[in-house]
Chain A
């Protein structure tokens, strides 16, 4: 640590002998490893090289949950970083922690860095803004679920690979045809709660929870046992029973099956692009997430998953200025466009999306704009702005358990979702008590 610091100092003095005197350090904790980790490191290096007042120091703190834990533990010990990456599920936890966080719009206003809230894509921004429309954290990596199609598997089962799969009605008929054609794994999914309940509700413009999905208050209750959700899960449960939908686990285990060519259809995040493109030895398509024709206002817009950057309290004014500069750099059009093209995550500003289109990226990589279109085609409603529920990591765990009850045939969709509501509401009441 000391050695590298001296080394860094030596290098920076050699490069710019005047400016290296009083650089302000900004700590940035994130959850990325591998290719994504390298890309984050490159962004930080570019920022550090581009100006001489601030040094951003990035450190990897484990997966999403571990990074949030590290940030919380550090805050309790008075050693919190300036910028902490928090996954979307932890948003309500962070928002409720007044006194631990400094809202991004405030940081930006004080730092004087360029910041225009309207430049950010509504459906991305909505997840992280207060009810007054102020941006509380900076969206960093955002993705949304789409349908991945193995064209070769479709053809092998005697199904036209160009079949219209925009509605679940059509998907249902296609699953029958795939099964009849000898396909053993017609449909597989990742992140079942995120895709088949949270996004499902937004996409059909039906509430997932009361109080505008929790945006309007802590006294929110789950509404995931509504008619539309239960009907969808009933259909999925029947498909599971018939061997047309194969359940592989609570996270993205199904990705391995799909990338190996074992499955025909796969509902997964748009950020699965890099992995699928690298590994798949078959022709694949990206299609919009299917919806039930005639249910709710489908297709509304889908919501995001991913993480945002939170600025934490308890630091010096000039450090906040540095943090503001860095966040402004991250949301600049060039940085965002490169990030979007390299990772498959959504661009967080409309400008970055336009730049990508203008560069011809979408023509060269067909399907990479499906997620962008799906998220931005309509103005988000109260049901499709996002979710803001406390203890949501645990509630997702409960939903996973109940969904497993449906897939194994132990419970009907209605029973499972009623139970999920009852158990989830108990946790929401605890969260309300803790943050009263």
Chain B
């Protein structure tokens, strides 16, 4: 029989959840509602006149082959960012967990990049790979590789992925490291006594025990790569060359804040909202089944 604490009356519970409800209402429901409303109009930037177009903005978007291509770009970008930020983080966490001396120093230093704002991270990476003065592109040139992300779409994608994933490695590292510390030593010792080597123990014991953290990070990182990466893309490629790094959220930003096209920008936000909602549902329905709590 599990214990339950119950509240008498409605007032106290309502008051307790009120702050969260207010924050969600002001910063999520109100703007989301506005976006849905605005997505039905084509308006001039000054708000002087607007034409009701029903689903016209959605029709305009979905018949634009460049917008549709941007879905594929976003999928590739998100998968790469998620993989590139989680796998190195897990590796670093496992290594840091094995350290006996100086793990505090490593830990602190590995967390640093998270404090760098995305736009600044973008500029840093751009500087290293600058086609004229970049250190890395210079070394690549010496090795006989002609780095030119200004015209080469693949290289541009690689660069924005690395720049976006870099800061996230720290964030993911923090969670993996904490989760590793929570793995019971007794289980690992028992396996060790049974003769299981490090990697064997890692695959059969540690990784399954990390699955709740991994799942959480998967959701969070996908959401990150969908919504928070436009700063990096804006500073490094502005979506180019051609459209090779124009992900959905960057188009929302540039149509809304550069092009002043609020109708199209709102419609794109609504589409993005639906996609991420669906994606999260899928993740909880299918991926979570494989998670052991």
- Binary contact track A6-24/B, C-beta < 8 Å → 1, others 0: 0000000000000000000
Contact segment of B17-25, B38-46, B167-175: B38-46
Q: How far is the CB of B80 from chain A (nearest CB, A)?
A: 22
Q: A400-B240, A410-B242 are in contact. Are A394 and B254 (CB under 8 A)?
A: yes
Q: A72-B260, A76-B47, A435-B49 are in contact. Are A408 and B151 (CB under 8 A)?
A: yes
Taking CB as reference atom, which chain B residue is nearest A410?
A: B242
Q: Is the interface of B mostly helix, strand, loop or mixed?
A: loop
Q: Which of B247-267 contact A (CB under 8 A)?
A: 254-255, 257-261, 263-264
- Interchain CA distance A249-B254 in the complex, whole Å: 18
Is A75 a contact partner of B46 (Cβ separation < 8 A)? Answer: yes
Is A72 a contact partner of B46 (Cβ separation < 8 A)? Answer: yes
Taking CB as reference atom, which chain A residue is nearest B246?
A: A401
Q: Is the interface of A mostly helix, strand, loop or mixed?
A: helix
Is A247 a contact partner of B43 (Cβ separation < 8 A)? Answer: no
Taking CB as reference atom, which chain A residue is nearest B48?
A: A99
Query: Which of these, A96, A247, A407, A433, contacts B51 with CB under 8 Å?
Result: A433
Q: How far is the CB of A259 from chain B (nearest CB, A)?
A: 11
Taking CB as reference atom, which chain A residue is nearest B53?
A: A433
Is B42 a contact partner of A394 (Cβ separation < 8 A)? Answer: no
- Which bucket holds chain B's interface residue count? 35 or more
- Interchain CA distance A100-B150 in the complex, whole Å: 39
Query: Which of these, A69, A96, A257, A410, contacts B44 with CB under 8 Å?
Result: A96
Taking CB as reference atom, which chain B residue is nearest A408?
A: B151
Count, chain A residues at interface, CB 8 A = 40
Q: A404-B151, A408-B152, A426-B64 are in contact. Are A262 and B48 (CB under 8 A)?
A: no
Is A391 a contact partner of B241 (Cβ separation < 8 A)? Answer: no
Is A404 a contact partner of B261 (Cβ separation < 8 A)? Answer: no
Q: A112 an interface residue at 8 Å Cβ cutoff?
A: no
Please list the residues of chain A having a beta carbon within 8 angstroms of any beta carbon in chain B: 65, 69, 72, 75-76, 93, 96-100, 247-250, 253, 256-257, 260, 262, 391, 393-394, 397, 400-402, 404-405, 407-408, 410, 423, 426-427, 430, 433-436
Q: Return the 9 tightest CB-CB contacts between A and B, nearest first.
A: A394-B259, A404-B241, A100-B46, A434-B44, A408-B151, A97-B46, A434-B42, A401-B242, A433-B42
Please list the residues of chain B having a beta carbon within 8 angstroms of any beta carbon in chain A: 42-51, 53, 60, 64, 66, 131-133, 150-152, 238-243, 254-255, 257-261, 263-264
